[in-house]
Amino acid sequence: MRSSLISNSTLLILLAALLAPAMQVFAESRFVTENSKAASLKSCVAPTNQMRRNHMDYLQHGRDDTVIDGIRGIDYSLSECIDCHASKDQQGQAVSVTDEGQFCQACHEYVAVSPACFQCHRTTPDTQAGAAKLGHHSGDSDPHEGLDIQLPAGIQRD
Amino acid sequence: MSKMYYRELYCGTPARYWSGLALLGVIIAIGLGAAYYMEHNGHWVTGMSNQIVWGLPHVFAIFLIVAASGALNVASIGSVFGGPLYKPLGRYSGLLAIGLLAGGLMVLVLDLGRPDRLIVAMTEYNFKSIFAWNVILYTGFFAIVGIYLWTMIDRSVNKYNRTVGFAAFFWRIALTTGTGSIFGFLVAREAYDAAIMAPMFVIMSFSYGLAFFIITLIAAYIWGDRELGDFRLTKLKNLLGVFVGAVFYFTLAYNLTNLYITQHHGIERFILLDGGVYTQMFWIGQIFIGSIIPLFLIYSPAFEKSRWAIAAASIAVLIGGFFQIYVIVIGGQAYPMNLFPGKEVVESGFYDGQVMSYVPTLPEAALGVAGIAVALTMVAVGARVFKVFPETLED
Amino acid sequence: MSNKSDQPNMDRRKMIGGAIAATGAMTIAPGVILHAASVSDEASAGADAKHRWGMLIDSNKCADGCSACVDACNTEHGLKGHGRPATDAVWIRPVKLKDKQTGRENRLVMMCQHCEHPPCVDVCPTNASFKRVDGIVLVDRHRCIGCRYCMMACPYKARSFIHEALTEQSVNAPRGKGCVESCTLCVHRVDDGVMQTACQEACSKEGHDAILFGDLNDPNSEISKTLKSTNSVQIRADLELNTGVRYLNL
């Protein structure tokens, strides 16, 4: 019993030691599509590793705030994701984020998930109506720049 | 009385059994394909629209669900009301009830706009919604009838049979009341805002369920080459006659009430006189095929001993019942809602004041028929693996 | 605008927002996030129970042959027809009526009446149909399973089912196949403090002024004053649903 416990924890430590460099490389890597607004920004609305891990939770929470309580202009808004991460093709036309190799599709494909978001939400920035016209985030403070997040020790903001 | 032995049902040759199952499998596969086609393209490929929002799949689903609750009748009479003649049929009654409900629910779920979100329906409840209650009533029905079957089959738990039987009886009354209330509580539409819908659905369930029971019982005993006594069958037949009469009485009460209320004259005129296909379905389908023919076959002395007359009466009750639900569900929607009393709609951007036409499409029908096939498959497999049917039912 | 006083004090919000944002996205433990603070300093305050939004439609002013409000609604919410009128979505529709006895003709527009006691909310099994605290009746499409029971229950035929897959929806109204929808009273505008619906804007632009949007709870709003001084009706008032949309000269 005792010995097996030791060997288990030893195994875990070994595994962690082996994985740490790989995780570090992954955490520091950055994936944005060319010709998107995101490519020109320092970071997303939260540190990249947090966004990678938790964006679905942020979005899900934000959607209830907006749909049920009418709170608009939240930081974690899906339309904002798309405005920022959709790239443009050579003609300057927006490319759908769910097209092959594009921001949302590439990662969702890799982890084999098929979120239902885009059955209702558009996949390119809306230039006709909505956010821009009504003044969302068009003011002086850009959430991408303005966030001064206190990070736990040891995590670098990329 | 001699001891009753139950045995798994083997019908004729294995080839006959397996080819029967294969046929049902093909029907189910076609139905599932149709459901995929409708979901993939969206509902515009069906006959349903923004005016006729519930179509043929709902007619099939409601028909099967209502019949499911009625199929349990025989078991209830056997163990709750102590009818010794019915007791040996209790196991099959429970099996058929589960099968019919499963078939009906499959059709209902596969016609949802978002069947992939079934989990939402299971986890989010609005307790003011009859639908939410029905989700609980339907799933609970499976559980209770399952336990009921167990107490009938397993001798060690047989002492609970009567208690569980009571629970199942009340549950099934609640279930059909709930299904009828889907329509009874709709204030918007003139055809539906009547509390009589709930008891009417209960009595409809008695009638359709028993008809399903009789026809499948006769078929099973023919296929299994087993003895089925005339006396027992006559008992069932007489009971069916009472239920058909009761449905007719409720139909009469419902329509006479509407005929008295001036506000409802429009819908009554539509169903009884000038509703085209719905009027025909009412008079020819529901009244003639569903009530008059079966009552004649059941009570005419000429057919007193005829097994074929009993089978034909049961089939007529099922056809008539199908039309009855079609008239309630689709006819009720086709008749326009009266938003502006005393005014006539000259023009509208959304079909106000117009009778809507509904032409069911093939995929809708295929999905509905697959529901029946699911019920029959469950019965065929269930009767083969469990000891459901008595070895002989001779008098 | 008369309801300027309802708008939040932006300077104050900014300060609080900034403080919250600073701690907001911090991870307490792996996977546990402080959600409540994820609202940026520009977020609107959200629906407020002290309002009840509604509309007043003057049937005398609704001009024959005009479809300005319908077109504006379609553009605002990205509703595109597919050439299949029986299944295409309709959020607002003109209806022309003639009195059976007197022959008097009327024209009006019908849409979701935003009832105080909405039958669609009563019947919805999953709570997808809901009424916001400020009286706007909406469908949460994240929960809608497409059972269409609300369409059976609505006395105004206000709802449409989406019969086909959609792309390039408007940000103002994300919508997709298999869900039910209806007039949102331009909730995206209301939340942003734009106190005018798309249909009202279009109707005014045409010079008809048949549609008036406003706060039924504010005694000083134009809609409340008009309702108090004139004889308006609710459609199907017999159902006692206390609709948020009222009609003049019907």
pLDDT (tens digit per residue) in B320-375: 999 999 999 999 999 999 999 999 999 999 999 999 999 999 999 999 999 999 99
What span, in angstroms and rounded, lies between the C-alpha atoms of C76 and C150? 24
Nearest to B126 among C101, C105, C124 (CB): C124
The rounded Cα B127 to chain-centroid distance in angstroms is 25
What is the C-alpha separation between B194 and C21, in angstroms, rounded? Answer: 55
| Chain B neighbours, 3+ Cβ pairs < 8 A | C
The secondary element (H helix, E strand) that includes residue C54 is strand C53-58
Amino acid at A113: V
Q: Name the CA dihedral angle for B136, B141, B143, B148, rounded to a multiple of 10 degrees.
A: 150
Q: What residues of chain C lie within 8 A of the CB of A56, using their CB?
A: none
Question: What is the predicted pLDDT for the residue at A131?
Answer: 41
Distance of CA B62 to the CA centre of its chain: 6
Helix axes B197-223, B307-326, angle to 10 degrees: 140
The pLDDT of residue B5? 85
Q: Is there a domain that residue B2 lies in? A: no
- Alpha-carbon gap, residue C111 to C247, rounded angstroms: 12
DSSP string, A134-158: HTTT-SS--HHHH----PPTT----
Which residues in chain C show pLDDT less than 70?
1-44
pLDDT in tens, chain A (158 residues): 444 545 666 666 776 676 666 555 555 556 778 788 888 888 888 888 889 899 999 999 889 899 999 998 888 889 889 999 999 888 888 999 999 889 999 899 999 999 999 999 999 998 875 443 443 443 334 444 433 333 334 444 34
Report the residue from C98, C152, C180 with minimal CB separation from B186: C152
Closest chain B CA to residue C88: B50
DSSP assignment of B139-177 equals: HHHHHHHHHHHHHHH-GGGGGGHHHHHHHHHHHHHHHHH
Please give the structure tokens belonging to residue B312.
């034909």
Say yes or no for a CB contact (<8 Å) between C171 and A130: yes
* Torsion-angle region of B280 (φ positive above 0: left; ψ -120 to 50: alpha; else: beta): alpha
In which band, very low, low, confident or very high, does the pLDDT at B110 lie, cut at 50, 70 and 90?
A: very high
B127 interface with C at CB cutoff 8 Å: no
**Contact, B122 vs B135, CB < 8 A?**
yes
- Quote the CA–CA distance of B195 and B200 in Å, as a whole number: 9
Domain ranges of chain A: 34-126
Structure tokens at A11: 């195994």
Distance from CA of C18 to the nearest CA of B (A): 35
Q: Which of A72, A121, A148 sits opposite C43 (nearest CB)?
A: A72
Closest CA to A68 of C52, C146, C197, C47: C47
Locate the chain C residue with the closest alpha carbon to A95: C168
Closest CA to C53 of C249, C230, C221, C233: C221
d(C-alpha B343, C-alpha A28), whole Å: 70
> Which of A71, A73, A121 is nearest residue C169 as measured by Cβ atoms?
A121
Residue B319 structure tokens: 């056809």
What is the average pLDDT score of chain B? 93
Q: Could you give the number of structural domains in chain B?
A: 1
- Flag if A121 and C43 touch (Cβ within 8 Å): no
Q: Which domains does chain C have, with CATH numbers?
A: 1-43 (no CATH), 53-248 (3.30.70.20)
Quick one: average pLDDT of B80-95? 89
In our burial notation (b when 16+ CB lie closer than 10 A, e otherwise), range B31-55 reads: bbebbebbbeebbbbbbbbbbbbbb
Query: Is the CB of B349 less than 8 angstroms away from the CB of C93?
Result: yes
β-strands C160-161, C137-139: how paired?
unpaired
**Are the C-beta atoms of residues C43 and A72 closer than 8 Å to each other?**
yes
List chain B residues with CB under 8 Å of C72: none
Helices and strands (H, E) in chain C, number of each type: 7, 12
Q: Which B residues, 94 through 123, put their C-beta within 8 Å of a C-beta on chain C?
A: 112-115, 117-118, 120-121
Q: Which of B74, B331, B14 is nearest to B205 (CA)?
A: B74
- Among chain C residues, the shortest Cα distance to B109 is held by C147
Segments in chain A forming alpha helices (H) = 2-28, 48-69, 78-85, 103-110, 117-120, 131-134, 143-146
CB contact (8 A) between residue B129 and residue C123:
yes
Rounded to 5 degrees, what angle do the CA atoms B57, B63, B69 make? 135
Contact across the interface for C161 and B43, Cβ inside 8 Å: yes
User: Cα–Cα distance between C143 and B48 in angstroms, integer?
Assistant: 22
> Which residues of A fall within a CB distance of 8 Å from C142?
63-64, 67
Residue type, A16: A
Q: Searching chain C, which residue's CA lies closest to the CA of residue B45? A: C163
Burial class (CB in 10 A: 0-12, 13-18, 19+), C121: buried
Contact C42 A73 (CB under 8 A): yes
Any CB–CB contact under 8 A between B188 and chain C?
A: yes
For the segment C61-120, what is each residue's pLDDT rounded down to a tens digit?
999 999 999 999 999 999 999 999 999 999 999 999 999 999 999 999 999 999 999 999
Half-sphere exposure of B96 (CA within 13 A, CB side): 27
Q: CB of A131 within 8 Å of any CB in chain C?
A: yes
Q: Is A79 on the interface with C (CB under 8 A)?
A: yes
Q: What is the pLDDT of residues B120-145, one digit of tens each?
A: 999 989 999 999 999 999 999 999 99
* A153 has a chain C CB within 8 A of its CB: no
Q: Are B88 and B393 in contact (CB under 8 A)?
A: yes
Chains touching A (3+ CB pairs < 8 Å): C
Residue B391 is predicted with a pLDDT of 86
Q: Of C59, C110, C126, C183, which to mutate for an interface test with B (greatest number of B Cβ within 10 Å)?
A: C126
Mind telling me how many Å the CA of C125 is from chain B's nearest CA? 4
Give, as one character, the DSSP assignment of residue C62: S
Q: Please, what is the Cα angle at C184 between C4 and C51, to 5 degrees?
A: 35
Pairwise CA distance, residues C116 & C133, whole Å? 10
Looking at the domain assignment, is residue B342 inside a domain?
no
Question: In this predicted model, what pLDDT tens digit does every residue of B222-251 receive, in sequence order?
Answer: 888 888 888 889 999 999 999 999 999 999
pLDDT at A30: 62
CA distance C5 to C208: 29
Chain position carrying tokens 């204030």 = B187
Nearest CB among A47, A130, A146 relative to C172 is that of: A130
Choose, out of C82, C91, C161, C243, the residue to mutate when testing the contact with B (most B CBs < 10 Å): C161
Does B350 contact C143 at a Cβ distance shorter than 8 Å? no
The whole-angstrom distance between C106's CA and the closest CA on chain A is: 33
> pLDDT band at B314, cuts 50/70/90?
very high
Q: Which two tokens stand for residue C37?
A: 């603070």
Task: Please report, for the domain that includes residue B146, its CATH number.
Answer: 1.20.1630.10
The reply to whether residue A119 touches residue C130, judged by beta carbons under 8 angstroms, is no
Nearest to A71 among C22, C46, C165 (CB): C46
Q: What is the dihedral of CA B41, B54, C160, C173, to 10 degrees?
A: -60
Angle at Cα C204 formed by Cα C247 and Cα C160, nearest 5°? 60
Q: Do A120 and C174 touch (CB under 8 A)?
A: yes
Query: Domain of B241?
Result: 7-337+349-390
User: Is it the case that residue B317 has pLDDT exceeding 80?
Assistant: yes
Would an 8 Å CB–CB cutoff place B159 in contact with chain C?
no
Distance (Å) from the alpha carbon of C219 to chain B's nearest alpha carbon: 29
Could you tell me which residue, B253 or A155, shows the higher pLDDT? B253
B185 versus B262: the higher-pLDDT residue is B262
Q: Are B282 and B272 in contact (CB under 8 A)?
A: yes
d(CA B31, CA B165): 34
Closest residue in chain B to residue C90, using alpha carbons only: B350
Q: What is the share, in percent, of chain B residues with pLDDT greater than 70? A: 99
Task: Please state, in angstroms and rounded to a whole number, the distance separating the CA atoms of residues B249 and B242.
Answer: 10
Q: For chain A, positions 26-65, list CB contacts with chain C under 8 A.
A: 45-47, 50, 53-54, 57-58, 61-65
A134 touches chain C (CB under 8 A): yes
Residue of chain C whose Cα is closest to the Cα of A132? C171
Task: Look at B113 and C239 and tell me if their CB atoms are within 8 Å.
Answer: no
Are the C-beta atoms of C126 and C250 separated by less than 8 Å? no
For residue C229, the SS3 value is helix
In what side-by-side order are the strands of the sheet with C93-99? B343-348, C93-99, C105-110
Identity of residue A151:
L
Burial class (CB in 10 A: 0-12, 13-18, 19+), C33: buried
In terms of CA atoms, which chain B residue is nearest residue C124? B129
Which residue in this structure is represented by tokens 């060997």?
Answer: A7
Non-local CB neighbours of B254 within 8 Å, separated by 6+ positions: B194, B196, B197, B200
Q: Which of A74, A119, A129 sits opposite C40 (nearest CB)?
A: A74
In chain A, whose CA is at the least distance from the CA of C139? Answer: A67
Which amino acid is it at C165? A
* Whether A126 contacts chain C with CB within 8 A: yes
pLDDT (0 to 100) of residue A2 = 47
Cross-chain residue pair A57–C33, CB shorter than 8 Å = yes
At residue B2, the pLDDT reads: 58
Extract the runs of DSSP E, i.e. beta strands, from B236-348: 343-348
Task: Report pLDDT digits (tens) over B301-313.
Answer: 988 888 999 999 9
